[in-house]
Amino acid sequence: MSTQGYQDELRSEQRYVDGLYARLDTERARVRTRYGAALRSTGVSAMDRDVEVRALAKEGKRLDVADNGVCFGRLDSTDGETRYIGRIGLFDEANEFEPLLLDWRAPAARPFYVATGAAPEGMRRRRQFHTRGRHLADFTDEQLGDPSGADQGDAALLAAVNAPRGTGMRDIVATIQAEQDEIIRLDHPGVLVLEGGPGTGKTVVALHRVAYLLYTQRERMERQGVLVVGPNPAFLHHIARVLPSLGETNVVFATVGELLPGLRVTAEDAPTAARIKGSLHMLDVLAAAIADRQRLPVEPLTIDLADVTVRIDAETAQWAREEARASGRPHNEARAVFEEIVTYVLTERAIGRIGKGWLTRDDREAWEQLRADLVAELAGNTAFAAALDELWPVLTPETLLAQLYSSPERLTVAGADPALRRADGAAWTIPDVALLDELHELLGRGEPVDDTAERERRAEVAYAAGVLDTLVAREDHMDDEDHLFAQDMLFGADLAERFRERDTRELAERAAADRDWTYRHIVVDEAQELSAMEWRALMRRCPGKSFTVVGDLAQRRSAAGATSWAEVMDPYVPGRWAYRSLTVNYRTPTEIMAVAAAVLAEFAPEITAPESVRACGVQPWARHVDHDELATAIAEFVQDEDGREGTSVVIGPPEVPGTVPAAATKGLEYDAVLVVEPDRIRTDGPRGAAELYVALTRATQRLGVLHTRELPRSLRGLNHPATAATAR
């Protein structure tokens, strides 16, 4: 294409993009008008109005999101058809079946991501737009199916990966690669395990997969929502805007430590304690701790009633305990069985003593009346209530676990490792959350269900039914134009619903506040770090077992984490999980990846480092400093990077001021990274080498190393900054 031809084509494409924005603005104005009318509407029920307002608000957000690069490309087929691809679908105003713009998730848009010269998918050309706001800056063409055509297909990708990093992860909707698209659109109903080394884009691919599932399974997915689990709040903040940028909001973001609403994590476990708490042996420990609270009396417990004194002896409590345990109910709910058996025994004994000489079982009515009186008396007897609390107490997860941790005797009885002992039993750590969640299942509700709301609802229904009866009675005496037909109200409950106050929170807000909420799909990032107990907590939150699991076994730091995906998945979804891997590194340049690959080869030689798609032209460097020079050298790096575009971070061991632990940077990326004291990072525990690997692979442009003691062998080839091509 000549220069003049290119400029003419660019102006033509700009006119088309202008038309798309005009259509977008028209649709947005229409939705805003309808939204305002819905808010003011008085002719419909509150429920109908609420449904419409929510739907229009969501549509408005979707259209606002599309304003940021509504169209990013075009496909030309071999039969002359042209398709424009963008963030959302737009249709001709006069013909709603005529697409002006295809949603990137639509099946017809798939060739934009997967067509190649060897497999053109019926396409002859792929055109990629580069926009700034609503302005089309330029475009690049890739000829498909023509070996002699100029291949510029990587231009958009390289521009994206070379761009300076901002404060959060960006979507890749305009530059999805073929191997990524195959995973995003994978039709698999169970668990998808997506593994990839640093920089392979596994996290952003998983998020785009969520957006795709929400597009293709909208009704089912939106009823329950999606949970995204990440390793720390910084990571979740980093990725939080990806799904909203794709128009999806019914998503809850949480760490494992945030799975129990209202619980505050205030402490950190030593590695040994974390490993113990993460093992499935804790199931036996928790069960034993509960069983230890289901006591038998050493001496009979005396209950004084009005006409007789009865005692709960060990034999009675033993029978009641066996029946309660055999019921299969959670501990707190099984207390009713325990109480029922004890009550039966005590009333039988009391009747025998009170009615001795004058009452027999043949006098059934008198016998049962006396039993009813005794049952009522026991129910109000404080000594009986105290005896039940002693023998079968109502327990909360927090109380049980805190008392277990703070008591060496209880730990011994439960068969727990003494390493779990701590003075403040309620100083919760992240591994405690999974144990508390398990105890919620084992204990059940702590108090009887409050049925006040249900009783009020039944009263409302009864009232509404009465209103209907009145309407029916009056129907024959009113003109059709002047009354509401009773048949328009199908049931009393329908009318009652009009008067009830509703929860107006968004789905994500309601789900995050409800421990018992179950999700349609769950994404787990940095999944190699999760313990077996944490997987149990997540699996119960998704009964359909629909997961996207993202991780890299080579980066595992936690001693309680996964050593293989099969050991994690087979107990829950045998035969229902699929494995896919990403092998191309889009983030880390070859110069930096070569350094990280040498570290990987030392501690995990069986794993191949991902292959980088680009070079940055800047060589990593290492500089030895004296201990008293370290702080100054770090400050110089920070000051230098402050003058550059993009982001930077200093990663080092906890004892070095001004550094961030490598674990806190997992999943994040920065233009420049300074790694301080790599040998200390490497020797910090059995997985310290994995931590160093993580630290070295966060940089997208520049990597430096500061050290006061000898470098690890794998880093000794790094040049001093004075001789390295650092382009400072």
Write down the residue that tokens 């290119």 correspond to.
Answer: 6
Element (H, E) at 331: helix 331-354
Adjacency order of strands within the sheet including 99-103: 90-91, 99-103, 82-86, 71-77, 123-132, 135-143
What single letter denotes the amino acid at residue 273? A
Q: Where are the beta strands (DSSP E) in 442-589?
A: 521-524, 547-551, 577-582, 584-585
Give dist(CA 303, CA 312) in Å, integer. Answer: 8
CB atoms within 10 A of CB 594: 15
**DSSP-derived secondary structure for 191-231:** EEEEEE-TTS-HHHHHHHHHHHHHHHTHHHHHHH-EEEEES
Give dist(CA 257, CA 259) in Å, integer. Answer: 6
State the burial class of residue 296 (Cβ atoms within 10 Å of its Cβ: 0-12, 13-18, 19+).
middle
Give me 583's structure tokens: 């092998």
396 known member of a binding site = no
User: What burial letters (b/e) apply to 504-534, b meaning 16+ CB within 10 Å?
Assistant: eeebbeebbeeeebebbbbbbbbbbbbbbbb
Give dist(CA 659, CA 673) in Å, integer. Answer: 11
Classified as helix, coil or strand, 313 is: coil
Half-sphere exposure of residue 603, counting CA atoms within 13 Å on the CB side? 23
Helix boundaries (H) for 475-570: 492-497, 507-512, 532-539, 565-569
What single letter denotes the amino acid at residue 193? V
C-alpha gyration radius of the chain: 33
Distance from the Cα of residue 422 to its chain's centroid: 30
167 known member of a binding site = no
Angle, vertex CA 688, rays to CA 685 and CA 692, nearest 5: 160
Half-sphere exposure of residue 492, counting CA atoms within 13 Å on the CB side? 15
658 known member of a binding site = no
201 known member of a binding site = yes
133 known member of a binding site = no
Element (H, E) at 706: strand 699-707
Give me 280's structure tokens: 């499935």
Contact (Cβ atoms closer than 8 angstroms) between residue 513 and residue 258: no
User: In the 8-state DSSP scheme, what is residue 514?
Assistant: -
726 known member of a binding site = no
202 known member of a binding site = yes
User: What burial letters (b/e) apply to 197-217, b meaning 16+ CB within 10 Å?
Assistant: bbbbbbbbbbbbbbbbbbbee
Strands 521-524 and 547-551, by their bridges, are: parallel
Which residues are CB-neighbours of 616 under 8 A, at least 6 positions away? 162, 589, 591, 592, 700, 701, 702
Element (H, E) at 276: helix 271-278
Give me 379's structure tokens: 């129910």
551 known member of a binding site = no
**Residues annotated in a binding site for ATP:** 196-203
**Residues annotated in a binding site:** 196-203
